[in-house]
Structure formats: C-alpha cells, structure tokens
Chain A
C-alpha cells in the first residue's frame, strides 16, 4: 500500500491519481491517519502552500512522528514543500523543519534578477525547467538527462551535505531540485504534473527497493 500523507494543505487528488495511473495494482491511500502511514509499504509526502502552515498542520494532526519514522524505514518520496520540510530550517517564516537533511530553505532573490540571456526571472519559479541528474539513482531510471519537469515554488533548498544532491536545476542560480539518501528521495518539482517524465519517476518510486 502506498500512503499519500494528507495534513489538510491542499488537494492531493493529482498525486494519488498519478500514482494509480502508473501503479494500477498498488493500493493508493490518501490518509491523515498516522497508523495508516505506519502500515504503508511506501510513503509519499507532498506539500503545497506556505511551509509554516504545513509544519503546523503536520504537528496538529499528529502526523509528524509517523512521517519521521517512515523516512527512516521505507521508500519515501517528498514532493515540493514535502522536500523543503525535510531540511533543518526554512527562511519562510523562519521556522525549523524536520531536520532529516542538513541545510536551509531560502527564497529566490528579490528584485531585478536576470538569466544569462537577459530574461527577467520571476518569482515564483513557475513552469517547465530542465533537471540535471547528479547520479544514477534508480528513480531516474528511463528518464532522459536534462528532461523537463514542472515547478511552482518561491523557496529552494540549500543542502549542506553535497552528497545528498540527486538533481540540479538552473533558475538564476543553480539549486538542488532533488535530494536522496538511503530510502528517501525528494523533489522540488511536481512529478504528478510533469507528463511522461514525472509519471516515469512515480513509476520508478512505486517499484523502488532501496
């Protein structure tokens, strides 16, 4: 069973539909129940909105321990704010995260920032961008190098442990858009909205044996 952790921050329909699409035999459950997260074979930890709200809701719903426990024991996929929450600290609201990866979450620079071609970089970073794969992680299997994924975010993670960086993306600066360690893989982009590349990543996750 694949549990999609629901702590009340937005609609998880696309994540669950995409998982059902790539793993029709898997039992996909969107759940707010810590016991279901404990029982799950695999856990997807999504997130949208503001990270302080996400952290608060996660604690208030009693899901914090179940998520931390899952991140130590079973295939675990963080998505968007679900990646950011794994870090020590976020500048958004100046709050601590779950501390599973060392490092901080920072905001893209304000003001008139331009890329190499002189195009103005808007925040949020919203749209399709290329992802450079850092290593040959099983979750990149059958996904071309430099393929396009869909992003929507204003903050990005700065991983203190460079070894944990599994994917990079350029948006005025180069940032870690995927991090991995042992049984954890987390991405800043939205695989559930990233067409074939995103579906392949979810398919890879659904059969991953870390």
Chain B
C-alpha cells in the first residue's frame, strides 16, 4: 500500500530559500542545499522547489540549485515557478528535477500541459492550481472555487474542480492544489476544496495552503482525502520536523514511511 507523502516546499529566489508572510516581507530561510539535506535526513518523501525569482536575469540560478541538490539528495524533486514552454520543462528535468509543476502557463496555454506530458510522460507533469472560494455554497448549492493566477491576483472565472478534470484529461500526472484563502493563514487546509477535487479526478492530489499545525496535515489526508500534503513554514524555522509530522500521522492511522 502506498504511503501518504509529506512534501516540504522551498520557495527559492535568487538562489536562496525565503519565506514570505502573505507575499510581503520575505524572510531569508537559508541555503537550499542545506535545507534540502535537512529534510532528506528527516525522511521527507519528496521536495518541492518553487522558483519565485522575479527577475529573468536570475532565472538560471534555480537550475544550479537543482543540480546541486540532485547530486546530494536522493528522493523525488519537483520544481515549479516560471515554467512557460516545453523547453523550460526539459531544462529542469535535465538539471535533475523528477517532476515539473506548471501553474499560470497552464491557464494561458493548456496545450503546454498536453505537449509536455506527451513528450516526457504524465508522471513528471504536475499542474498547480491556486483556487479561491467565490461562493460559499448553501443548503441548495455547492460551494464554488475559481482558479486564480499570478500568485492569487488574477481571477480567471474558471471553476477549479472542472479545471482539475481538464488538466487530468490533458495529461497532468498530479495536481498540486493550493487554497489561496488559506495560504499563509495557518488555519489548516480548505478541506472541502481538497475533497471536491480528490473526488473529481483519478490522479493524485497534493493539498497545500494553510498548514499551521501537524494535526492539519493529518486532516488533509483523512478528511480531505489527499494523497500528499505540502507545507513550508511549519518546517522551515525548526518549529516541527518532518519526522514529528509523520509520527503524528501514523498515530492517526495513516500509512507513512517512518
């Protein structure tokens, strides 16, 4: 039986890991290779690197970071941020990424997902969906979430659950689902959103956005039905280790790789 995965996420800019608080006041959290090795030692199941570098001049730095990490850390690595073309996917895979995550570009050009998946296989194409609730739902109607792009600033009008289905049909091998309502709040995942997407598709769903406690991680799996849970801040500043997270999940009856 497959283990549920815990995936620490590292936001990287100009070759350094940073942690933002509501997208402002980025705090330096350290050297990506050192942090990746620390999580590897704690038995993280996978690592996700999100390149949030604003300047295109510094874009290639992420390739060096991935090359460096991939020669010292032997678990699956996912890289996202700024992926626009099949060529970007190729460069990241060649640098040592096992999966590449596509976000805004999938909305602007869904064919990119189909092309990249046909070329490199669905198993290495992750589509990241940033979803925000636009209707809370009531007794007669289900809640509705829409896809947002550009870090949550641009509303697309696309239904998030429908979008997940479409991305799966185009060849996404996995969906990284972030609740923009919860991201940075530490209030826990949007479990209804997670459940709605999990029930709609057959590829694995990684829940993201809002983790403030280890209990939240377990909820993402047990109540949300997620195959994997992603978190950043609870791990970065030494608050909790991945090992503690796994022990708590195991205590909740979840199969994890201890």
Is B20 located at the chain interface by the 8 A CB criterion?
Answer: no
B121, A49: Cβ atoms closer than 8 Å: yes
- Report how far A115 CA is from B227 CA in the complex, Å: 14
Residue of B nearest to A120 (CB): B202
CB distance from A81 to the nearest CB of B (A): 11
Neighbouring B residues of A126 by C-beta, 8 Å: 2, 123, 173-174, 204
- Report how far A155 CA is from B202 CA in the complex, Å: 17
Contact stretch, chosen from B8-16, B50-58, B71-79, B159-167:
B71-79
Neighbouring B residues of A195 by C-beta, 8 Å: 40, 43, 74-75
Q: A13-B96, A122-B203 are in contact. Are A198 and B5 (CB under 8 A)?
A: no
Neighbouring B residues of A210 by C-beta, 8 Å: none
Residue of A nearest to B123 (CB): A152
Q: Which residues of A113-154 have CB atoms within 8 Å of chain B's CB atoms?
A: 115-117, 119-120, 122, 124-130, 148, 150, 152
Neighbouring A residues of B70 by C-beta, 8 Å: 13-14, 17
Is A73 located at the chain interface by the 8 A CB criterion?
Answer: no
CB distance from A133 to the nearest CB of B (A): 17
- Report how far A120 CA is from B227 CA in the complex, Å: 11
- Report how far A155 CA is from B101 CA in the complex, Å: 24
- Report how far A116 CA is from B255 CA in the complex, Å: 13
Q: Which residues of A36-95 have CB atoms within 8 Å of chain B's CB atoms?
A: 48-50
Neighbouring B residues of A17 by C-beta, 8 Å: 70-71, 74, 96
A124, B123: Cβ atoms closer than 8 Å: yes
Neighbouring B residues of A116 by C-beta, 8 Å: 1
Is A171 located at the chain interface by the 8 A CB criterion?
Answer: yes
Q: Is the interface of A mostly helix, strand, loop or mixed?
A: mixed
B76, A150: Cβ atoms closer than 8 Å: yes
B123, A21: Cβ atoms closer than 8 Å: no
Contact of B94 among A13, A49, A122, A152 (CB under 8 A): A13
Against A, the Cβ 8 Å flags (1 = close, 0 = not) of B126-157 are 00000000000000000000000000000000
Is A199 located at the chain interface by the 8 A CB criterion?
Answer: yes
CB distance from B3 to the nearest CB of A (A): 4
Q: Which residues of B35-79 have CB atoms within 8 Å of chain A's CB atoms?
A: 40, 43, 45, 70-72, 74-76
A193, B257: Cβ atoms closer than 8 Å: no
- Report how far A208 CA is from B1 CA in the complex, Å: 30
- Report how far A195 CA is from B43 CA in the complex, Å: 8
Q: Is the interface of B mostly helix, strand, loop or mixed?
A: loop
Contact of A119 among B1, B75, B94, B120 (CB under 8 A): B1
CB distance from B168 to the nearest CB of A (A): 11
Neighbouring A residues of B2 by C-beta, 8 Å: 125-129, 171
Is B98 located at the chain interface by the 8 A CB criterion?
Answer: yes
A11, B74: Cβ atoms closer than 8 Å: no
Neighbouring A residues of B211 by C-beta, 8 Å: none
- Report how far A60 CA is from B241 CA in the complex, Å: 49
Against A, the Cβ 8 Å flags (1 = close, 0 = not) of B86-103 are 000000011010100000
B94, A11: Cβ atoms closer than 8 Å: yes
B1, A170: Cβ atoms closer than 8 Å: yes
B3, A127: Cβ atoms closer than 8 Å: yes
> Which of B93, B121, B174 has the largest number of chain A CB atoms within 10 A?
B121
A117, B1: Cβ atoms closer than 8 Å: yes
Is B218 located at the chain interface by the 8 A CB criterion?
Answer: no
Is B231 located at the chain interface by the 8 A CB criterion?
Answer: no
Is B197 located at the chain interface by the 8 A CB criterion?
Answer: no
- Report how far A127 CA is from B98 CA in the complex, Å: 12
Q: List 7 A-B contacts (CB under 8 A).
A: A10-B93, A17-B74, A116-B1, A119-B1, A122-B204, A127-B204, A171-B1
Known: A13-B96, A116-B1, A122-B203. 17 other contacts (CB 8 A): A10-B93, A11-B96, A17-B96, A20-B71, A21-B72, A21-B74, A49-B120, A120-B202, A126-B123, A127-B204, A127-B228, A128-B3, A128-B257, A150-B75, A150-B76, A194-B74, A195-B75
- Residue numbers of B with Cβ under 8 A of A are 1-3, 5, 40, 43, 45, 70-72, 74-76, 93-94, 96, 98, 120-123, 173-174, 202-204, 227-228, 257
CB-CB nearest 9 A-B residue pairs: A128-B3, A148-B257, A127-B2, A17-B71, A128-B257, A152-B123, A193-B76, A195-B75, A18-B74
